[in-house]
Structures are given as C-alpha cells and as structure tokens.
Amino acid sequence: MIESLINPIPSSFLLIMIVYFLLLAFIGYVAARQTKDLKDFLIMGGNASAIVSGVAYFATQYSVSTFMGVPAIAYKEGFAGLSISVPGIAFSMIIPALVVGLKIMKLSKKNQFLTMTDYLADRYQSNILRVSHALLMVVFLVAVMGAQMVGAGIIFKTFTGYPEWLGALITGAIVTLYCMFGGMRGAMLTDVLQGLLMLTTAVVTFIMSLKAGGGLEAITKTMAENSTSRLSHPGANGTFTYGVYVSMIVLWSFFSIAQPTLFTKFFTMKNYSVMFRAVLLGTIGMFISATLIEWSGVNAFVSNASLSGNDADFIVPIIIQQYLPSLLSSILIAGIVSAGMSTVSALMVVATGGITRDIYQKLINPNAKNETILKLSRIVTVLIGISGIAIGIYKPSGIFEIV
C-alpha cells in the first residue's frame, strides 16, 4: 500500500541530506573548537543562551515518533488523538522550570554538577544510587537511540530505495562524529538547526493537509457527515476518554524533568534570565509543533482514508510528498530525520557522562584529571554510537515498541 503512495526520490533526497549533513558537520566543527574541557563537553560550560537552550529543549524532547507515530494515532482517532500530547505539552517545560528548574541550575553551579546522577548521588549521599542510576541511563538511553536509528533507516529506504541499514549507519555515524568532538555543545548547537527544521516541517505539513482536504471547513463537514466520532472524545476507536485526557496532562507536566536528557538542560543554562526566556521559547516551539503535526494527521483522514495498521505511520511523509515538489519534500523529510538526530545527540552525550563521569571519575579513578576524562568521553561516545547503530541495523522491534 505504502509503495503506491510514496515514490522513492533518491536524487533530490540524497542531495538534501548531503547538504544537511555538511551543515551539521560544520556546526560540529565549530563546537569542537570551543570544547576545551569536561564541563564544556557535558553541559556546554553552563553558558548556553536562551535561544540555544529553548530550541534544544524541545528538539531533544521530540523524536522520530513525533512525526511518524503520534500523527498516526490522530489519523486513526480524530481530534481526540491530540490528547496524547497537546494539552500537556504546554506544561512540560513550564512546570519543571517553576518547581525545580531554578533550584537545579543554582545547585549545579554551586556544586559543579555535570550530570543528573551527580545531583542524585549528592542529594542522597549514595554511591549505590550513583552506580544504579548511571547504568540505567546507559542501558535505556542507548535503546531509545536505537529506536531513532530504526526510524532513520525506514525513512532512508522509503525515499531512496536503498537498504535500511545504510540509513541507520550514515545517520548514526554523523551524530556520533559531532558529539564525539563537540559534546553537549555540538548536540545543542545542531539542535537549533534541527529544531527550526522540525518546526518548519510541522507548519508546512499542516498547510498541505488543509489543502489536500479542501480547507478546514470542508474537512470538518466531511467528518461530521461520515465520522462524527472523530470530532470529539473518546475518538473513533473510543481510546481517548476524558480520564486519558487528564492523565496525559499530568504525565507531560511532570515526567519531563525526570528524563536525564532534559534534566541536564538546566545545567547548561547561564542564569535565571536565560532560563525564563528559554522556557517561553521552548514551550511555544513544542506547542506549535505538536499541535500542527498531530492536527495534520486528523485532517489527512479525509484525503487519505485508506491507510490501516502500520501504514498510518507514514501519513506525514505521504502528505509532504503528494503536495510538494521533490526538492521541497526532501527538505521536510529531512525535518523528520532531524527529530531523531536531535534526540540521539542528547542521549549520546548524557549516556557517555554516565560512564566516564559518574562511574569512572567518581568511583573508579577519583584522581583522574578532567583532560583524561574528556579523552575517555570521546572514546566512549564512539562505543555508545556503535551500540545505537547496531540496534538500528538489527531492529529487534518497531520504533514505538523499543521506546
């Protein structure tokens, strides 16, 4: 079914991806020149600006599933499917910032915390907690990295016709390179480009979904006549009751701060003024992107009603390719790839810190100099990158199941 709706466009897609990867490589090179010590590598020296912090926060939070899994839920359920993130997304950065963000930022500067494990181990004075938390981060964050590689491989195959493993390998290798040399600085600076591309993809996809359905009024009228359940809770399949709706608000409001990749972002922020502006910027970016990309899935049911099962995961790429020239569609497809890459880069640096900072420097060799740990961190980053790529190539399960 998908083969009849999406045609490979290898020449334009590869051209755009080459240009995109070169831009990332250049940003990684700049970041590498500015990464002088372990603090630079793990938390960007604690001097990140509001724009970098805000965009990096929402770019890290979003992944391939944001563009290829969540819109499929909205496609199947209707407007009730937006409950999966839209009502809670506005609070996912505001509440963590208001409740603990400022305290975390102050404590990190006072006590020289570089990782989430640093904070927890110090708070509870427990090396057992230090080891267990560090190992949990490495194991589970590498698995989530692998899920993004799976997504990159699927997109690569769909739009080039080449094997999935090649897409996972290339994408993983690029991210590993700029993280190995630039650390968190490389991850967050590339996040700015990737976040803007993701936002553009969400906006343009929404506009194209309206065009495909004949406009918002026509789309709503068609649903009212043929599938009324798509216009309200609990949705076409009865999945999203009001209880789920409330649960999603609570989940998004409080789970974000528990993610090491997002928790650590508060370590990178320069001061309270930066944090305040970053929270506003990140919240706006997340809210617009989540709303529009999920709403696109709702709209697409009118113009592409025949998708079923896992085919629905491709609804966003289908909209993009059907209504845009190949070159422009390739740019927006790169936006989906960038969603995975921005997540992978943050996961990679945080997982590296779990091994080199939390276990090696704090427990095995407390006398190790930061220069030694920095060199070790670059080696470990490569090993973690290879692990994530391996999961992407062998694909033990689907993207959503791995996550």
Residue 186: both structure tokens together: 């490389």
Is 153 inside a domain boundary?
yes
Please check whether residue 5 lies inside any domain of the structure.
no
Confirm whether 8 is domain-assigned: no
Residue 192 above 70 pLDDT?
yes
Cα–Cα distance measured from residue 145 to residue 150, given in angstroms and rounded to the nearest whole number? 9
Q: What token pair was written down for 238?
A: 């009865």
- Whether the pLDDT of residue 362 is over 80: the answer is yes
Mean pLDDT over residues 105-133, rounded? Answer: 92
pLDDT value of residue 368: 87
Band of pLDDT at residue 116, cut at 50, 70 and 90: very high
Share the mean pLDDT of the chain.
88
Domain harbouring 101, CATH code: 1.20.1730.10
Would residue 399 count as lying in a domain? Answer: no
Domain count for the chain: 1
pLDDT in tens, 193-243: 999 999 999 999 999 999 988 999 999 999 998 889 898 889 888 888 888
The answer as to whether 298 is a domain residue is yes
Are 240 and 246 spatial neighbours (Cβ–Cβ below 8 Å)?
no
| CB of 168 closer than 8 Å to CB of 153 | yes
Percent of the chain with pLDDT over 90: 31
Rounded Cα distance between 244 and 96, Å, is 21
Is the per-residue pLDDT at 402 higher than 80?
no
Tell me the average pLDDT across 12-29: 89
Q: Is the pLDDT of residue 1 over 80?
A: no
Question: How many alpha carbons fall within 13 Å on the CB side of residue 100?
Answer: 18
Question: What would the pLDDT profile of 285-344 be if each residue is shown by its tens digit?
Answer: 888 998 999 999 999 998 887 777 778 888 888 888 888 888 888 888 888 888 888 888
Q: Which residues span the domain enclosing 388?
A: 13-25+49-394
Measure the N-to-C terminal CA separation of the chain; round to a whole number of Å. Answer: 26
Q: Is 35 a domain residue?
A: no
What confidence tier does 2 reach under pLDDT thresholds 50, 70, 90?
low
CA 171 to chain centre: 14
Question: Domain for residue 303, yes or no?
Answer: yes
Which residues, listed in sequence order, are joined to residue 167 by a DSSP beta bridge?
A: none
7 within domain boundaries: no
What contacts 375, CB < 8 A, 6 or more positions away? none
